[in-house]
Each structure stands twice: as C-alpha cells, then as structure tokens.
Structure 1
Amino acid sequence: MHKPSPYLVAKLRKHEALQKRCGPGTAPYAKALRQLESGGSAAAADDDCRYLVSISYNRGLGNRILAIASAFLYAVLTERALLIEQYHGDVAALFCEPFPETTWLFPDGRRFPLRILRDLDGKSKESLGNLLKNTSSSSSWSDRPPPYVYLNLEGGADFHDKLFYCDEQQRLLRGAPWLLMKTDCYLAPGLFLAPSLQGELHRMFPEKNAVFHHLGRYLFHPANAVWHNITAYHREHLAGAGKLVGIQLRVYRGETAQVSQVVLDQALSCARREKLLPAAGTNTTNATLSLSEQTTVLVTSLNPWYYERIRDELGGGVHQPSQERWQRSEDTAHDMKALSEMYLLSTCDVLLTSGMSTFGYVAQGLAGQAPWLMPRRPPWEAPATEVPDPPCVRAASPEPCFHSPSSYNCAARRNYDDIGKAAPFVRRCEDASWWIKLVDGSSQW
C-alpha cells in the first residue's frame, strides 16, 4: 500500500554502513568509549563516530517500540549510530537484528563508563533541560560540548527538556559524541516541527501518514520464535477469510474494572454502525457461505470475557490468541505474545482499536491503515457509564499519536496559538486533543 521513497531507501543503506563502521567491536567504538571514560569535553571530529543510546525501561511493549522507532529516526537524521539498551533482554528475544553485519544492542558488562543509564531522569544534571538552565554551560557548547547529554523526553518532560525540538538546541547537540535518550513516546511529529530537520524528513517521507509504517517494517522483524507463533496462528485460524476484522480492546488497570459492559457495548455499537461485522448469528446460521465469504474476527484483549461475548453475539468465527489478564512489563514471554498479536492485527482488513493505546498504535502503523478508533475518557476522569455518541471515529491516519508535544513555537519564541494547526501535516489526535499526529493534507478538521 505504502511504498518507501527512493531517498528513504538510500538513507537506510547509508545508515547501515554507518552502523557497521561504528558499532560495538570496531576501532571507532573503542575510541569513543575511551574518550567518554576520560570525561573530556571535545567536539567529535567530522570523521568520528557519534552515538545515540536508546534507554529502555519499565513501560509496556507498545511504548518501547514507539521509543525505539523514534530514536532510530533521530539517529538517521543526525547520522549517529543507534544502540539499544535493553530492558531485561527484551529486544534480543523479540526482534531480529535490523542492521547487516553488526548489532544494535548496547553491550552488556562493565566496559561502558556510565553504568546507571536507567536511573537518569529529569533531575539528572547531565540532562539537556538542566544544562540549558545553566546558561553559562550551554553558551560554551559550540567550542567544548559535554562528553554526553541525556535527553529526557518522557511524558513528564518539562519546558527546558522539550527545547530539544528547537533548532538552536539541535545545533548545540551536534557536537556531543554521545546522546542518551529516554522516552516512552512517538517523537516523529515533534521532529517534523523542527525547521532544521524538515527538509530531510519531507524527502524521506513524502507520505506523512506512513512514517511509522516504513520505520516499523524496516526495524521490527520478529525473532524466529515470535514469527513462528504469528504464522502458525494465522494459518490455522485466519487464513482464507473473506474479510478479517481486528478488534483491540484495552482497559487500563485502576481506570475501570477489567470487565466493562460499556467497553463491550461501545465496540459492538461501532461495529454495527459502521457495518464492520455481519449481523448477529450470521456466521453460523448461514450455512451457504464459504470460508472466503465469511467474516473472521480477531479479538485482542487481556481479558477473555470480551472475546466470549463477541463470539456469542456473532455465533462463531471469532478468535483470541492469548488471555493474559494482566499486563506484565518485565515478562519476556508475555511481550512475545503481545508482539505476535500486534502483527496479527496488522494483517486484518479492518481495525477497531481503543483510544490512547500504544498497542493499537503499533498494530495500525504496521498495517498502514487508519483504524476505527473508540474514544475513552482521560484516566483522571470517572469511567464512562454509557456508550459515547458516536461510539467511534475514523482516524485521520495510521500514524501513532505523540503524547507529549511541546507547545512552544521556537521560531516565534512563544506558544503556538493552536499546535494542531502548526503545519499542514500535523493534526490533533482523535483520542486526546492535547496530543498530535502526522497526516497527509490539510490540518483542518
């Protein structure tokens, strides 16, 4: 559906060569480690390798995937080798190595001079935000940049942290040999709003609604065990269906009960309203339909209750790969099942997803199709007691939402009047008006 631009393909080939030249085990990597250990503050020479370390931490798999994709995009834009600091060995267990003849995995052990990467946060003195607050140190960067800078781009990042998206700060960061990034967000919309990065981004991605689609399909090739689970389940339960509908239901712990009649009714109301599913009982009562004429439904939810009710409603042709009941962010086996289900959802002809869910974002992005999105109330509000009207809306694009954008217009040195209209390719998200996403065409609703 979405074809990568020749320029993007060329950039990826160039970046593969950079990863091979600069990756762990090479002479440039050893040199960069020595310089970091010495604590010297000298700008990297033009022929030196520069690095971006993506720090994984205690977040769901959807957030971690979006974080890695964001780090990779920034590494390509700034010509830095990307290294992934794993969270409990998850990346190696979930994904194949994306770069030929090298690794993107941050080496384990004690050789790296900075041994507390996961402890870095917005209070760390090495963060960009705190360095900028110390005007005397930031003003001297152009001559003697720090040996490393921590980029605190989590959801709780403050005003100074988010100056990362300004051209002035991007110029300062160029000389730092090491950047350490921690985020749980999809940063691409913010990068697209930085004027110094826009030219390259527009050439790489003529289709603004397919940025994650191309990044995800390049980076995230499931490891053999995960791929086996995906193909075996698809072959046994989903292959050959005339229409494949994916329903992703996410209910957050503490927000409402794990079993919610309102959530179920909202999904079924949307499906009926938009004619996504056959009439109740049709799949089993109409014996004249062949498999290729029937609708098959894939339900992904932590709780089997939703699957059982949808199956009872339709009379058959409904499948749920796993029933984990609770999200387990430190359980690799759990994440392997989650990744399998993201990919299975991405094979569906139609998607119906829960608002604010990064799990759903990844599935729709890999599929390259805009889902029907079920809005939900913000976590700080009381759970809904009735189905909203309308129960769902069609997303403007398959792109994930950026959950923590900067409202500051760097060029104008004031806040945007409306960040949803900051550029023709940016729009406010359907599931939360304070988030933004990439779209094709006008930014007008």
Structure 2
Amino acid sequence: HSDLRVDCSESLRDERPKDRLLGGLLSPEFDEASCLSRDQSAQYWKQSNHTPSPYLLQKLRNYESLHRRCGPNTELYNKSIEQLKSNASTRPSECNYVVWLESGGIGNRVISMVSTFLYALLNDKVFLLKLPDDFHGIFCEPFPGTSWILYSDFPIQDLDGFDISHPQIYGQEKEQHTEKQSHNVKALSEIYLLSFSDVLLTTTFSTFGYVAYGLGGVRPWLLLKPENDVDPSCRQSLSAEPCFHFRYSYDCKTRKHVDKGALVPCVKHCEDFTWGVKVVDETLVIRRH
C-alpha cells in the first residue's frame, strides 16, 4: 500500500453530538446491534458540512423498497431466476439486476462497488454482489430486511468468463485476483482508521487512499511526482472524490476523441494522475485559478 500519514488530534476535541444515520443516508430500520461498525462509525468521523438532498434520500428509500421486493428469496427474484433458466421472457420484468464482480485489491473493489450501486440507484436496478471467498464476513448487509449476496444457485455460473464475445452479454473480461481474507480484514480496518483523520497525506495513484478520504469526506494532501522544477511536491486535492484513472476519451455523440476534463466545470483532470478525471468543487477550481 502507498504511504499514508494521519493527524487525528482534532477529532478528539469535537464534542458535538453525532448523527448515526448520517443525515438520513442510513435507514432508521436497521437494528443497531446488527452491525456495530455501521452504527458507531459516525462517532469517529468529523462532522460533515454537507446535507444530503431530499431527492437523494428519497431515491435511497425507494431503492431499499425495491431491493426488499426483488432481492434474493423473494417471489419476484425467483421468477427472474426461472426466466434466466428458460432463457425466455415474454414481457418486461418488474425486477432488473446488476451483478458486481470483483477485480483488483480492496481499494479498487470498494470503489467499483460504490460505482455499481450508484448505477443501480440511478437506473432502478437491484444491486447484487457475487461475493468472493475472501470477502465473507467483512461487510455488513447494507439494505434492511434483505440481502445483497448473489446465491450459489444463480443459473449463470461462469460470471467471470463474460466478455464482449458472449452472445448475450456486453461488457469486459475480468481478471480474477485471489487475496487472503485476513489481508482484506486488516486492509479495510486501516482504511477506516485513516478515514477518521482530520488531515490526511497520501501518495499518488492510491485507491487505498481514495477510499479512506472518501469515507471521511476529507480533501487530502497529495505527494506529487514533480515533472519539472516548478511543480509543487505537495498540494491539496480539489475534492474528496476518487480519481477515475483510465477514462474513455471517445465521445459517442460527436464520434471523436475529446478532453473529458474540459467538458463541464465540475469534472477536471486528477492532480495525481493527469490522464484521469474526477468530480471537483467548482468554487475551489475558480479560487485556485
């Protein structure tokens, strides 16, 4: 992992009452004892200045309802399974699914899980997880009254073999990386410990660091690799968002390659990897320039 340094001194002095539901991002239906880390994390994070929008909160509640109706072991889920087995569907399904497959280390996995859930949230699809052997017991169930784990009786078994040549699947081939569960437990613990920091210093290209400062909502200081004598060796990031390292430059509408970091004010090239792009705070961009 990349070298990360933290300063937690300010957290010890923040005595304001903590909102364990994070402004409504977490459902009040959860039993506190069902997942201690979920219930207690808010006690250690610095209180956020951002308030979730009513639209986002409503989308989350609607999604939780959808997942309860369509999740594993429900009548609608079983109907979807039968349709997959028969390879036939006579009408649009009430439940549509997106299945996450693992790739890379734990930092890359967490970022891709969040991205997949966001896609499911925006497109009214049910997010299911093909749980790797080394992920058992690491994460709590994120949705009340249901599960996000894809059961072993799922009719399509060779999920890792999907690629663009598959007659019914559009996607990219995934390379499976096998990790030890003990390693993942330790790594995730370190990520959460780092996320409790008020000040965080990280090296470039670190997805491990991206997850840590994303959870904590902290704009990190980045140790850059100077390309010439005038480049600063350390600068604060414009946002707590991760960098999308290998973005696609082809624009389908114009049918040509474009600079994705120059299309809209809230998306800029990453400070630590100029080929990538990230979501930023527009006001900070204006202030810096």
| TM-score of the superposed pair, with normalisation by structure 1 | 0.50
Rounded to whole Å, the distance in 2 between the matches of 1:403 and 1:127 is: 25
CA distance in 2, matches of 1:375, 1:37: 52
Question: 1:11 is matched with which residue?
Answer: 59
Query: Residues 387 and 113 from structure 1, CA distance in 2 versus in 1: closer, same or farther, beyond 3 angstroms?
Result: farther
Structure label with greater radius of gyration = 1
Q: Which 5+ residue runs of structure 1 have no aligned equivalent?
A: 129-150, 155-181, 185-327, 378-383
1:94 is paired with a residue of what secondary structure?
coil
How many angstroms does 1:120 deviate by?
A: 2.1
Q: CA offset at residue 125 of structure 1?
A: 4.0
Greater fraction of residues in helix: 1
Aligned-residue offset at 1:51: 0.7
Q: Does 1:51 align with 2:97?
A: yes
Q: RMSD between aligned alpha carbons?
A: 2.6
Alignment partners' CA distance in 1, 2:144 and 2:246: 33
1:317-339 deviation digits (Å, cap 9, x = unpaired)? xxxxxxxxxxx951111111111
Is the 1:62–1:359 Cα contact (8 Å) retained in structure 2? yes
**% same residue:** 43
Give me the TM-score of the superposition, normalised by structure 2.
0.75
Q: Which residue is equivalent to 2:277?
A: 436
- Checking the alignment, whether the CA contact within 8 Å between 2:224 and 2:232 is kept in structure 1 is no
Aligned residue for 1:12, secondary structure, equals helix
AA at the equivalent of 1:439: V
Partner SS, residue 356 of structure 1 = coil
Give the corresponding residue for 1:100. Answer: 144
Asked if 1:337 is matched to 2:155, the reply is: no
Inter-CA distance 183–77: structure 2 relative to 1 (3 Å threshold): farther
What residue number does 2:197 align with?
A: 348
The amino acid that maps onto 2:109 is R
Q: 1:49 to 1:394 in 2, by over 3 A?
A: same
For 1:206-355, what aligned pairs fall within 5 Å after superposition?
330-355=179-204
**Structure 1 residues 348 and 183: alpha-carbon distance in aligned structure 2, compared to 1, 3 A threshold:** farther
Deviation at 1:42, TM superposition (A): 4.9
SS at match of 2:200: strand
1:27 aligns with 2:75: yes
Cα deviation for residue 124 of structure 1 reads 3.6
Question: In 2, Cα distance between the equivalents of 1:25 and 1:435?
Answer: 40
Measure, in 1, the Cα distance between the counterparts of 2:201 and 2:216: 12
**Which residue does 1:359 correspond to in 2?**
208
2:256 is aligned, of 400, 414, 435, to 414
Q: What is the CA distance between 1:79 and its match in structure 2?
A: 0.5
- Contact (CA 8 Å) 1:329, 1:335: kept in 2 or not? no
CA distance in 2 between partners of 1:435 and 1:43 (Å):
41
1:114 aligns with 2:156: yes
- What secondary structure sits across from 2:261 in the alignment? helix
* C-alpha distance 421-401 of structure 1, shift in aligned 2 (>3 A): same
CA pair 387-424 structure 1, distance change in 2 beyond 3 A: closer
In structure 1, the partner of 2:128 is: 83
Q: What is the count of residue pairs matched by the alignment?
A: 238
Moved over 3 A (4+): 121-127, 386-389, 442-445
C-alpha distance 43-66 of structure 1, shift in aligned 2 (>3 A): farther
- Does the CA-based 8 Å contact 2:191-2:209 persist in structure 1? yes
5+ residue gaps, structure 2, are 1-47
1:427 match: secondary structure: strand
* Mapped contact 1:67–1:183 kept (Cα < 8 A): no
Determine if contact 2:204/2:222 at 8 Å carries over to the other structure.
yes
1:428 touches 1:436 (CA, 8 Å); kept in 2?
Answer: yes
Residue 400 (structure 1) shift? 0.2
CA distance in 1, matches of 2:192, 2:215: 7
Return the alpha-carbon distance in structure 2 between the equivalents of residues 331 and 99 of structure 1.
26
Once residues 103 and 183 of structure 1 are traced to their aligned partners in structure 2, the CA distance between those partners, rounded to angstroms, is: 26
The amino acid that maps onto 1:419 is: K
Structure 2 distance, partners of 1:4, 1:55, is: 29
Alpha-carbon contact 2:134-2:179 (below 8 Å) kept: no
Letter of the structure 2 residue corresponding to residue 392 of structure 1: C
